[in-house]
């Protein structure tokens, strides 16, 4: 990779803390990986003293692959390239004792956390549970304890949720479990409070490279500062114009705080864009300059002006979807073999907008891929098997116990579990511990007692083998003993059962490979798997298909042809943001959407749109008015050029489809 002068300066600088302001498409990943190479080969840093921290598994994997091509294995050995959560887990696993945890703690996913919070709320609806879960997550990301939140609560609802937070945290501790937020919060608190452990980790990680720094929350920013210490030997890469995650605790002010905390910090701007045409960048620059700026920068490109940006007014959402799909089919036909379906993306503000585009794409027989589909590790059959693995790793994990003991059914039902739960609650122990006591077993009928003891004997046998036996061997043996394949065949229709068993077989093979390649036992693998259920960075198969994605999920990606749909007041910017006076983040979201496009950008909005059975007539997004008029072409709106009618559009799409089918034949 040939670096431009600014990129080279960022790679070479080692005089203290460095902030690299990396505009969209400016090659920030290349700068980070080249700097890792420079630190090891030219400066003499041992690889094990360097950590590059990302936000998603996907970004970490991309960096790892790039570094692997740059450095021999021997020189890259020990290098840390991982997410904030993975680094937190590494610290937590090593320092568990200092926090009152065992090394085999469980990591609960969002569904397990929601279940605990729901029980504490006393059977409230899903929306109430989601709101409480989100608020607790924000408090944790802000490094606030339950006691602090109760003292600072602004109303009765916050006081109630602060109490739920305290109960939720106490439950996690009793389970010897943490949630995703704790993976960063607990290490940050530990390093804050324990100078000996803090010094140990500062010596271990002598240089940090932090990607997407504008997306850090208070917890992540604090952990970063504690690891780097007063010297601040780090390179932070970020872009205040792409800060779009305030709703989950990201704090763009961290970039400003960084300047205050490290007055000696050097700032280097990366403004040359290697992705988009000059016209697309001009529009992006014009829109984002309406936001107050932490750091002023202007993206530029050597790719020439490029095509004019179309702004299309559609009659309604049906017309919008059909018109967009007709353009994709037409462009694919014109481009022939040089153009792939994967070159096209349809981006929208909210997931609810996807359905009508899915219908139009299916109708046109155009393959598509919906971003953020169900993760492999979220499938019911995978969670069933993982509940056994979690329980082998940590017998205090009550959510795992409840799932494992009831799947497949083995004569243990709500009555048995109710008695067990009452005993466990009264004696402040886990369900697993309760099931091992004669007193609790004495509360059950002879048949229920026998079923439970059979389950417990089996689990104890596998727990005794956990550290020594091969992970793949353990899970294969376990699945056979519990008869999981027969369970699927008896409870699912033929084809569905086959697919689910194939997924379980894939998991078994993956566990075996993980154990062999990484030398991990089943307990360590259980914690690794938990991290893979994070919503960010889910792996998606690379297929030749049109990408349907929210604007949030599209960040970091790029496509030759982008359709940014639903550009209307109330959608983009969103009504909630307008009412809360937070249009600036919505403008950054529009900026992210614009800068995904490489060659061609089209924006659409509807003249009328149906909501709750009623027609509404939204204004075009205010962000369109902020674009330079000489660089956009308005179609279908009064004063603009006409586009085809809905009927003509259907006819045109049908003829294009026929032509495409004939060409395939």
Task: Band the pLDDT of 278: cuts 50, 70, 90.
Answer: very high
pLDDT at 618 over 70: yes
Asked if residue 25 belongs to a known ligand binding site, the reply is: yes
Q: Would you call 463 a catalytic residue per the annotation?
A: no
Q: What local confidence, expressed as pLDDT, does residue 586 receive?
A: 96
Kindly state the average pLDDT of the residues 188-198. Answer: 96
Task: Exactly one of 109, 112, 181, 211 is catalytic; name it.
Answer: 211
Higher pLDDT, 376 or 498: 498
Give the alpha-carbon dihedral of 635, 640, 646, 649, to 10 degrees.
-50
Asked if residue 250 belongs to a known ligand binding site, the reply is: no
pLDDT at 533 over 60: no
Pick the CATH number of 108-175 from 3.30.565.10, 1.10.10.160, 1.10.1510.10, 1.20.1250.20: 1.10.10.160
Q: Would you call 80 a catalytic residue per the annotation?
A: no
Kindly state the average pLDDT of the residues 601-626. Answer: 92
Structural domain boundaries of the chain?
A: 5-92+185-270, 108-175, 300-367+543-661, 377-536
pLDDT at 431 over 60: yes
Task: Band the pLDDT of 104: cuts 50, 70, 90.
Answer: confident
Higher pLDDT, 150 or 598: 598
The rounded distance, in Å, linking the Cα atoms of 160 and 162 is: 5
Strand, helix or coil for residue 106: strand
Please say whether the structural domain 377-536 has been given the CATH code 3.30.420.40.
Answer: no
Asked if residue 128 belongs to a known ligand binding site, the reply is: no
Nearest of 404, 525, 530 to residue 458 by alpha carbon: 404
Asked if residue 22 belongs to a known ligand binding site, the reply is: yes
Q: Would you call 135 a catalytic residue per the annotation?
A: no
Nearest of 63, 104, 107, 102 to residue 85 by alpha carbon: 107
pLDDT at 637 over 50: yes
Kindly state the average pLDDT of the residues 644-652. Answer: 54
Kindly state the average pLDDT of the residues 156-165. Answer: 93
Q: What local confidence, expressed as pLDDT, does residue 534 receive?
A: 45
Task: Band the pLDDT of 344: cuts 50, 70, 90.
Answer: very high
Task: Exactly one of 6, 7, 29, 218 is catalytic; name it.
Answer: 29
Q: What local confidence, expressed as pLDDT, does residue 370 receive?
A: 86
pLDDT at 535 over 90: no
Lowest mean pLDDT among 204-218, 309-323, 361-375: 361-375
Kindly state the average pLDDT of the residues 265-284. Answer: 96
Q: Would you call 293 a catalytic residue per the annotation?
A: no
Q: What local confidence, expressed as pLDDT, does residue 496 receive?
A: 85
pLDDT at 503 over 90: no
Kindly state the average pLDDT of the residues 189-201. Answer: 96
Rg (CA), the chain: 27
Place of tokens 């697919």: 499
pLDDT at 478 over 70: yes
Asked if residue 372 belongs to a known ligand binding site, the reply is: no
Place of tokens 């501790």: 173
Task: Band the pLDDT of 662: cuts 50, 70, 90.
Answer: low
Q: What local confidence, expressed as pLDDT, does residue 605 receive?
A: 97
Establish whether domains 5-92+185-270 and 300-367+543-661 are of one fold.
yes
Predicted TM-score of the model (pTM): 0.79
pLDDT at 154 over 70: yes
pLDDT at 593 over 70: yes
pLDDT at 640 over 70: no
Average pLDDT, the chain: 88
Task: Exactly one of 242, 327, 527, 550 is catalytic; name it.
Answer: 242
The rounded distance, in Å, linking the Cα atoms of 123 and 263 is: 51
Please say whether the structural domain 5-92+185-270 has been given the CATH code 3.40.50.300.
Answer: yes
Task: Band the pLDDT of 526: cuts 50, 70, 90.
Answer: confident
Q: What local confidence, expressed as pLDDT, does residue 646 receive?
A: 52
How many beta carbons lie within 10 A of that of residue 145, not counting itself? 16
Percent of the chain with pLDDT strictly greater than 70: 92
Task: Exactly one of 6, 7, 28, 555 is catalytic; name it.
Answer: 28
Asked if residue 28 belongs to a known ligand binding site, the reply is: yes
Q: Would you call 358 a catalytic residue per the annotation?
A: no
Do residues 102 and 176 make contact, with C-beta atoms less than 8 angstroms apart? yes
Fold of 300-367+543-661: Rossmann fold (3.40.50)
Kindly state the average pLDDT of the residues 479-502. Answer: 88
Asked if residue 275 belongs to a known ligand binding site, the reply is: yes
Q: Would you call 28 a catalytic residue per the annotation?
A: yes
For the residues of 190-240, what is the DSSP string, one character each?
HHHH-HHHHHHHHHH--EEEESSGGG--HHHHHHHHHHHTTTT-EEEEE-G
Kindly state the average pLDDT of the residues 423-431. Answer: 88
pLDDT at 399 over 90: no
Place of tokens 């009928």: 445
How many beta carbons lie within 10 A of that of residue 654, not counting itself? 13
The rounded distance, in Å, linking the Cα atoms of 524 and 115 is: 25
* Kind plus residue range of the DSSP H or E element containing 166: helix 156-174
Asked if residue 407 belongs to a known ligand binding site, the reply is: no
Q: What local confidence, expressed as pLDDT, does residue 530 receive?
A: 67
Task: Exactly one of 212, 241, 317, 343 is catalytic; name it.
Answer: 212
Q: What local confidence, expressed as pLDDT, does residue 538 receive?
A: 40
Task: Exactly one of 596, 598, 609, 657 is catalytic; name it.
Answer: 596
Q: Per residue in 570-582, pLDDT tens?
A: 999 999 999 988 8
pLDDT at 326 over 60: yes
Q: What local confidence, expressed as pLDDT, does residue 652 receive?
A: 56
């Amino acid at each position: 990779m040939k670096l431009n002068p600014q990129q080279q300066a960022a790679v070479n600088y080692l005089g203290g803390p460095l902030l690299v302001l990396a505009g969209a498409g400016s090659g920030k990943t290349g700068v980070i990986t080249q700097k890792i190479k420079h630190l090891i080969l030219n400066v003499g840093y041992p690889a094990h003293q360097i950590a590059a921290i990302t936000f998603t598994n996907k970004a970490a994997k991309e960096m790892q692959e790039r570094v692997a091509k740059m450095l021999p294995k021997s020189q890259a050995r020990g290098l840390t390239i991982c997410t904030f959560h993975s680094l937190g887990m590494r610290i937590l696993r090593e320092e568990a004792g200092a926090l009152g945890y065992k090394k085999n703690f469980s990591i609960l996913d969002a569904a397990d956390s929601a279940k605990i919070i729901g029980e504490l709320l006393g059977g409230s609806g899903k929306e109430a549970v989601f709101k409480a879960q989100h608020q607790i997550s924000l408090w944790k990301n802000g490094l606030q304890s339950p006691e602090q939140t109760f003292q600072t609560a602004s109303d009765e609802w916050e006081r109630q949720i602060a109490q739920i937070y305290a109960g939720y945290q106490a439950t996690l501790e009793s389970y010897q479990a943490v949630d995703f937020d704790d993976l960063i919060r607990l290490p940050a608190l530990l390093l804050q409070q324990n100078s000996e452990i803090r010094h140990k980790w500062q010596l271990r990680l002598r240089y940090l490279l932090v990607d997407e720094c504008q997306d850090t929350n208070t917890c992540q920013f604090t952990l970063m500062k504690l690891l780097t210490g007063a010297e601040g030997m780090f390179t932070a890469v970020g872009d205040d114009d792409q800060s779009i995650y305030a709703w989950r605790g990201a704090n763009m002010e961290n970039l400003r705080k960084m300047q205050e905390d490290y007055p000696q910090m050097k700032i280097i701007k990366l403004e040359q864009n290697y992705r988009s045409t000059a016209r697309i960048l001009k529009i992006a620059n014009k829109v984002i300059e309406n936001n107050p700026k932490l750091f002023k920068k202007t993206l530029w490109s050597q790719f020439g002006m490029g095509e004019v940006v179309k702004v299309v007014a559609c009659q309604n959402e049906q017309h919008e979807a059909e018109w967009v799909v007709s353009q994709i089919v037409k462009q694919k036909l014109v481009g022939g073999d040089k153009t792939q379906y994967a070159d096209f993306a349809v981006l929208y503000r909210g997931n609810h907008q996807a359905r009508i585009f899915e219908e139009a794409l299916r109708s046109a027989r155009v393959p598509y891929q919906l971003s953020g589909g169900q993760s492999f590790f979220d499938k019911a059959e995978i969670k069933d098997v993982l509940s056994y693995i979690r329980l082998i790793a940590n017998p205090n994990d009550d959510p795992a116990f409840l799932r494992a003991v009831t799947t497949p059914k083995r004569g243990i039902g709500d009555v048995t579990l109710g008695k067990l739960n009452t005993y466990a609650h009264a004696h402040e122990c886990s369900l697993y511990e309760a099931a091992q006591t004669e007193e609790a077993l004495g509360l059950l009928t002879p048949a229920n007692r026998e079923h439970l003891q059979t389950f417990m004997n089996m689990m104890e046998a596998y727990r005794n083998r956990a550290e020594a036996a091969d992970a793949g061997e353990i899970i294969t043996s376990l699945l056979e003993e519990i008869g999981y394949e027969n369970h699927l065949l008896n409870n699912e229709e033929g084809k569905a059962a086959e697919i689910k068993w194939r997924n379980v077989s894939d998991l078994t093979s993956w566990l075996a490979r993980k154990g062999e390649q990484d030398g991990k036992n089943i307990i360590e693998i259980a914690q690794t798997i938990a991290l893979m259920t994070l919503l960010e960075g889910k792996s998606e198969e690379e297929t030749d298909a049109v990408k349907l994605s929210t604007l949030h999920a599209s960040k970091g990606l790029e496509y030759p042809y982008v359709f940014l749909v639903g550009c209307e007041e109330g959608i983009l910017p969103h009504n909630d943001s307008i009412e809360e006076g937070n249009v600036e983040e919505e403008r950054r979201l529009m900026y992210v959407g614009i800068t995904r496009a490489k060659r061609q950008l089209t924006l659409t909005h509807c003249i009328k749109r149906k909501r709750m059975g009623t027609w509404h007539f939204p204004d075009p997004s205010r962000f369109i008015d902020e674009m330079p008029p000489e660089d956009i072409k308005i179609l279908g709106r009064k004063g603009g050029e006409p586009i085809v009618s809905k009927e003509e559009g259907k006819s045109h799409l049908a003829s294009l489809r026929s032509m495409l089918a004939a060409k395939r034949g």
